[in-house]
Amino acid sequence: MSAPRKAAVASPSHGRTGIGRLLGIAVLALLLAAAALAFAAWRDYRQFADAPLSLEADTTLDIARGTSYRQIVRTLRREGHTRAAPFYWRLLDRQMGVSGRLHAGEYALPVGITPRQLLAKMAAGEVVQHQFTIVDGWTFRQLRVALAQETGLRQTLTIASDDEIAAQLGLADVGAEGCCLPETYAWIKGESDLDVLRRAAAAMRRTLDELWAARVPDLPLKSPYEALILASIVEKETGIASERAEVAGVFVRRLRIGMRLQTDPTVIYGLGEGYTGRLRRRDLDGDTPYNTYTRAGLPPTPIALPGRAAIAATLAPAGGDALYFVAYGDGSGRHEFSATLAEHNRAVARYLERLRR
């Protein structure tokens, strides 16, 4: 007879191993789930940071001075530009390190801009640059009218007189007429009309100083301001670039020999609001400080805002012996130049004949 078998007994170490395996699998599963969640969150974050904001059309974002990063995010959410959780915006800030470097101002939000691009723009202070152009030949009055119509620019000079503005520009001794350089000037939201005028006046001072220093010798002009006055007349007499130096040459020669300038634009300026659009004989005969038919020399102030080209032509006038000029009358804006009164009278007759055709 064989001996009876003993019942098998589970080893304690065997049980512990099985439980450990189960725990390991559970931990691994948790880690994999956490990794999957983390990957999904990272993917969503990356999609948020580099996906366009919700914009139906180009717009702007106006950030006041002292606005916090949290308030900026709230504004973007309130205006419907983002539906992302604030946590994503905080994470993007931490990644880029920009919240303490964001500049106040007006920012362009073009369709397609991403949160990352927006924060980079704000950190660099790339605010919207508006443009205002001063046109060659404008009077200071015309400049003021155009400046007052510039939407978004703070209007501080509405009731100020020209003399008061001149004082604020440091031009109390000469006045504001002619003293702003025609150019295009950039301005940002929050700046004022006076800020633009200050830049234009500074640009005119630099330009006039530069060109005066390079002027041809022996001009009958005592100062840069006299050059500015004559340049304003040249500006108003011709819009043809190639004629500016010739027109300036005529006036310079007249000044040298004491001949009156006899130029219509100065008479028109002197008439002010009394000018009806057509000069009459009584206008030419009526004496005002600006009537260069009745008075010798230069008028007391510029009559317009001359551009750089007109100033340069005035300080480097063309040579020759012409003392007269008259429009061709063919609509081109060109002029016919003459050395003698007899030649000029014939040119005037041709001009009148062309007008009758």
Bridge partners (DSSP) listed for residue 133: 184
d(CA 151, CA 236): 29
The 10 Å Cβ neighbour count of residue 77 is 15
Please state which of the ranges 84-98, 111-125, 255-269, 300-314 shows the lowest mean pLDDT: 84-98
pLDDT for 39 beyond 80: no
pLDDT for 211 beyond 80: yes
Task: Say which residue, 187 or 13, is predicted with more confidence.
Answer: 187
Bridge partners (DSSP) listed for residue 62: 106
Pull the structure tokens for residue 77.
């959410």
Alpha helical stretches, state H, the chain: 12-50, 69-78, 86-96, 115-124, 140-148, 162-168, 193-213, 224-237, 244-257, 264-271, 281-285, 308-315, 341-356
pLDDT the model gives residue 218: 93
Which residue's structure tokens are 């005529």?
A: 250
Task: Say which residue, 28 or 192, is predicted with more confidence.
Answer: 192
d(CA 182, CA 201): 10
DSSP class of 53: P
d(CA 6, CA 4): 7
pLDDT in tens, 57-94: 999 999 988 899 999 999 999 999 998 888 889 889 98
pLDDT the model gives residue 352: 85
pLDDT for 121 beyond 60: yes
Residue 321 banded pLDDT, cuts 50, 70, 90? very high
Residue 6 banded pLDDT, cuts 50, 70, 90? low
Residue 312 banded pLDDT, cuts 50, 70, 90? very high
The 10 Å Cβ neighbour count of residue 299 is 23
Under 8 Å between Cβ of 292 and 254: no
Residue 132's SS3 state is strand
Nearest CA among 151, 105, 157 for reference residue 128: 105
d(CA 299, CA 313): 19
pLDDT the model gives residue 23: 64
The 10 Å Cβ neighbour count of residue 106 is 16
pLDDT for 7 beyond 70: no
d(CA 266, CA 304): 10
Mean pLDDT of 213-221: 96
What's the distance, CA 9 to chain centroid? 94
The 10 Å Cβ neighbour count of residue 238 is 20
Portion of the chain with pLDDT greater than 90, in percent: 68
pLDDT for 175 beyond 70: yes
Bridge partners (DSSP) listed for residue 193: none
pLDDT for 304 beyond 70: yes
